[in-house]
Amino acid sequence: MAMKSQSHPTDWLELATYLSGAATASIAALALGGWVTGLRELAGVSRNWIPMAPNAAVALVMLAAALALMQHGDKRGLVVAKALIVAVGLVSLARLSESVTGVDLGVDYWIISAPGESMGLIPLGKMAFITGLSLLYVSIALFLIASGWWRLVAEALAVVVAFVGVIFFLGYLYQAPLLYRESVIPMSITTAVAFCFLGTGTLISVAGRDLAARARSAQQLRLQAAALNAAATSILITDRQGTIQWCNPAFTELTGYTVAEAIGQNPRFLKSGKHDAVFYQHLWRRILSGRIWHGEIVNKRRDGSLYTQEITITPVRDAHGQIAHFIAIEQDITLRKHAEAELRRARDAAEAANRAKSLFLANMSHELRTPLNAVIGFANVLLKNKEGKLDATDLGFLERIAANGKHLLGMIGQVLELSDIETHRVQLQSVPVALDRLIPEIIAGLEFQLRDRPIALSAKLPDRITPLRTDEARLKQVLVILIGNALKFTERGSIVVQVAVDETTRQPVRVDVTDTGIGIPKDRLAAIFEAFQQADFGMTRKYGGVGLGLTLARALCHLMGCRIEVRSEVGKGSTFSVILPSRPA
């Protein structure tokens, strides 16, 4: 069974407005039909009645149509309604100007040429002065209503029009001779009745619009109140002194206090004692100055437990611009604060463990280097074979001991250097560095690694490079690592070291090491800079190394204010770029 929609007072007022407009249009249409068909009784011609003028009939129909169009509220209807209202207003002004100036503009014959007869001194079909004035008044009233301007003025004009219609109707009804002075063209009885309906309809339209506006405002307020009550965050509204005037259910859920217990209280009853008086003084100074305060406060629930909330307090001003209320939006962040504390503890523990690891590695590295140097040193002594007692096999074993010892010593040196960087025990020596000298020196020192391999190692340098202020030894170490990696993972092709400079200052901005090696998969580009990582886990067995070189290079670059970027494609090679800081010597 379908439910009947509940009627609203605005619906009845809108219906009354339509009926008033329809009655006005019907009366005017009958009069106009009388003039068109020659049925003079419809027009109101009789021995005792004055007929409605044709222009007045058309004007009333147009105003009734405008009143109906205004009820829809759509833009096109309002435009048409305003056009009809303006047209009637112009006709009314033309008729009134005739009466005032005595100049005949023929207004009464614009629509229909009425018979040239008269009832005494009153001509038939002549628009009365009071009719023209009433039409002007109601036109102004309707235009103001359609535009949303000066509602009280529109109401006053509508009352005047309705009152004039009532007076003339009563005059006819009771045959009051005052309305039939010979020097005045009186309003016809049908026009008077039409003005009664039209004036009343205009008043009802104003009342309906006001009531509809109030209904919309009330609905909006109900919607806002429902939204505030349904909000998951606690919301408080206080007066200027801080007395709570309203709170939503989320406040009760957060604090444990009911709405009745909170209303009339000051939020200070939630104080936990975790903040001093200066904290609250600063808060009040800020919001009383009209600014928004945002921060975190630790408060106490009804059961005594503490909670942390993130609060935004916004001042609300009254019509005079004075601060009248404050709105506080509060969100419980207790769990978030606990999680942050746990993360801080975990981070501190991890940092402590990392420092302990670095110290352990540093100590162990120092302890390992001493006996390892002894092993390498004695192996080199034996390799000299001064007494000639060692054969080729023994010398081969000694060479293997010395080579592996040197490799192990290099790896320990890298671990030691990484630990020194992590424990901030590395100091830089900033000096002017000429890259056009440094890079050829590095290449010359690494050419022995080519060993007749089908690889071309070269440098591509600009004509002029401005010296760069940095730590030469550390920068050289980074470039040696990058070029060494390129030599390790390139079986044939080329390795090019290129310097890019600023065209104006000739300041070096980037050093690229480009190879035609095996390349790096995209999903491993970030991992290669992590300690003990390579692009492929199988590379350790095939190419050797433990994956500390790039980690050390990145740490050294960070220490010097540089950074390393990499571009690579599997099977086509890689480009490692050292982005240099802009610090000319």
Clarify whether residues 121 and 240 are in a common domain: no
Q: In this predicted model, what pLDDT tens digit does every residue of 133-156 receive, in sequence order?
A: 888 888 888 888 888 787 788 888
Q: Closest by alpha carbon to 65, among 129, 133, 10, 17?
A: 17
- Same domain for 516 and 477, yes or no, is yes
**Number of C-beta neighbours around residue 187 at 10 A:** 30
Q: What is the mean pLDDT of residues 116-142?
A: 70
C-beta atoms surrounding 494 within 10 Å: 15
Strand intervals (E) in 333-441: 431-433
Over its C-alpha atoms, the chain yields an Rg (Å, rounded) of 49
Tell if the pTM clears 0.95, that is, is over it.
no
- What would the mean pLDDT of 247-254 be, rounded to a whole number? 86
- Indicate if 183 and 258 belong to the same structural domain: no
Q: Is 339 exposed, middle or buried (0-12, 13-18, 19+ CB in 10 A)?
A: exposed
pLDDT tier at 192, thresholds 50, 70, 90 = confident
**Which of 422, 457, 485 represents a domain boundary (last residue)?**
422
Distance of alpha carbon 293 from alpha carbon 274, whole angstroms: 18
Q: Which residue has the tokens 């490079």?
A: 465
Residue 326: the pLDDT is 92
How many C-beta neighbours within 10 Å does residue 256 have? 14
Domain match, 385 and 413 both:
yes
* 119-128, 199-208, 328-337, 352-361, range with the lowest pLDDT: 119-128
Between CA 341 and CA 346, with CA 343 as vertex, the angle to 5 degrees is 110
CB neighbours of residue 520 within 10 Å: 22
Q: What strands lie across the sheet with 455-460, from one edge to the other?
A: 455-460, 493-501, 508-515, 573-579, 563-569
Task: Give the per-residue pLDDT at 285.
Answer: 92
For the residues 455-478, what does the mean pLDDT come to?
A: 90
Give domain status of residue 293, yes or no: yes
Spatial CB neighbours of 366, under 8 Å, sequence gap ≥ 6: 416
Tell me what percent of the residues of the chain surpass a pLDDT of 90: 16
Q: Answer with the residue of higher pLDDT: 420 or 140.
A: 140
Instruction: Give 423's DSSP letter.
Output: T
Task: With cut-offs at 50, 70 and 90, classify the pLDDT of residue 121.
Answer: very low
Question: 346 lies in a domain?
Answer: yes
Two tokens at 150? 């000066």
User: What's the CATH number where 461 sits?
Assistant: 3.30.565.10
Domain-ending residue, one of 198, 225, 252: 225
Q: Which of 193, 186, 195, 183 is nearest to 48 (CA)?
A: 186
Collapsing DSSP to helix, strand or coil, 1 comes out as coil
- For residues 367 and 462, state if they share a domain: no
In a domain, 584, yes or no: no
Identify the CATH number of the domain in which residue 257 sits. Answer: 3.30.450.20
Domain count, the chain: 4
How many other C-beta atoms are found inside a 10 Å radius of the C-beta of residue 334? 14
The predicted structure's pLDDT at residue 5: 45
Does some domain include residue 254?
Answer: yes
Q: pLDDT band at 3, cuts 50/70/90?
A: very low
Domain extent, residue 505, equals 431-579
